[in-house]
Structure 1
Amino acid sequence: MISSIASTTLLSGLATQSRVAQTAADNIANVTTPGYQAERGQVVSVSPAGASYVPLPPEGEVDLARQVIDLDQAKQAYVLAARTFSSIAKTEKDALNVLA
């Protein structure tokens, strides 16, 4: 079984990156909406281990280049966290099989 700290860290990372991607997607979807203020936020470290997404005040017009970069970075971080989770689970399963 994956340790609670590893599980908490990875799951909070997945949830945080999902929120980053959702914010970027919302901004991209509303780029032509009159008066739309771009949503933004910041990823922060949370103790004892993990991350969280903190919404910030709107910043004005949507910067498409920035949104695409944010979306790509969130995707990469999400994929890495998911692969890490899978790798830890497989390693633990293999270890248990050796002990059996």
Structure 2
Amino acid sequence: MSEIPTVSVDEIPDDALVVDVREHDEFAAGHAPGAIHLPMGDVPARLDEVPITDESLPVICRTGSRSGRTVQWLVMQGFDVVNVDGGMQAWKRQGKAMAAEGDGEPTVL
């Protein structure tokens, strides 16, 4: 298996377009403000929803495991994507902007 292209959280602007592959409850609890929600299990059926960008598209999950597998698969499909090292846990640790659905304080489940 080839290396998974990876980017660190501090290299991503707070408002960057990212694809979040966590489940709905995780995404609703807290996500990057510029995130597109596309659960990992839905990616193959919703491939047309993966944005095509001028730069590598960051893919994120809770810790980097699910997004790593998703990035690996998307690269094989010809997409220019990178795994966010440490996922949303690292995002939160870095104090980066977060949004949540509803009135609750954004958090990482």
- State TM-score, norm by structure 2: 0.27
Higher strand share: 2
Question: Who wins on radius of gyration, i.e. which is larger?
Answer: 1
